[in-house]
Amino acid sequence: MRFAPKARHRITLTEDRANLRWMRAALREAERGAAEDEVPVGAVVIREGRLVARAHNRPVRLNDPTAHAEVLALRRAGRKLGNYRLIGCSLYVTIEPCAMCASALTHARVKRLVFGARDPKAGAAGSALEVLNHPKLNHRVEVLSGIMEEECSALLREFFRRKRLKS
């Protein structure tokens, strides 16, 4: 089945399938984080339908408070593409980015952000703060949320439940 050009801005079937595919890849990264006892958040950077970089949260392992999945994925993508601007790239992440990561996405000029679950406590794509697409900023990032939301938040819930049992 073919889609008329006017339907392009809507989510087409192929786009929908791609969103699930890349969010699944981000989820696999998040699971790697959980296995390392890091808060399970995963991110992937995609350009023209191809995976450019993937990363999971690693602040504990790296002794680095900035080592969020998004920041690590952006750094890797920048190195791989040989450019500090990630023009035309999409970043998929399991949880809504924090203020630091939202700002990093803006600096990188990322085209699109797709995230799974909202973070009402620290989400900076509108839930707790409005860092991404703040009216004072020039760069606009397309945002799509709620992709595999349940799986993304279940992973976090389960991680913190186990943590509480251990302590």
The pattern of x and - marking residues 85 through 104 that bind Zn ion according to CB under 5 A reads -------------x-xx---
Which residue, 2 or 62, has its beta carbon nearer to Zn ion? 62
Asked if residue 32 binds Zn ion (CB under 5 A), the reply is no
Residue 26 makes contact with Zn ion by CB under 5 A = no
- Shortest Å, Cβ 122 to Zn ion: 8
Using rule CB under 5 A, residue 58 touches Zn ion: no
**Active-site residue flag, 151:** no
Q: What's the closest the beta carbon of residue 165 comes to Zn ion, in angstroms?
A: 26
Residue in 70, 96, 142, 158 annotated catalytic: 70
Instruction: Supply the minimum distance, in Å, between the C-beta of residue 17 and Zn ion.
Output: 27
- 68 scored as a contact of Zn ion (CB under 5 A): yes
The answer to whether residue 74 forms part of the interface with Zn ion (CB under 5 A) is no
3-state secondary structure the chain: CCCCHHHCCCCCHHHHHHHHHHHHHHHHHHHHHHHCCCCCCEEEEEECCEEEEEEECCHHHHCCCCCCHHHHHHHHHHHHHCCCCCCCEEEEEEECCCHHHHHHHHHCCCCEEEEEECCCCCCCECCCCECCCCCCCCCCCEEEECCCHHHHHHHHHHHHHHHHHHC
Place of tokens 């790239």: 89
Catalytic residue list: 70
Residue numbers at the binding site for Zn ion (CB under 5 A): 68, 98, 100-101
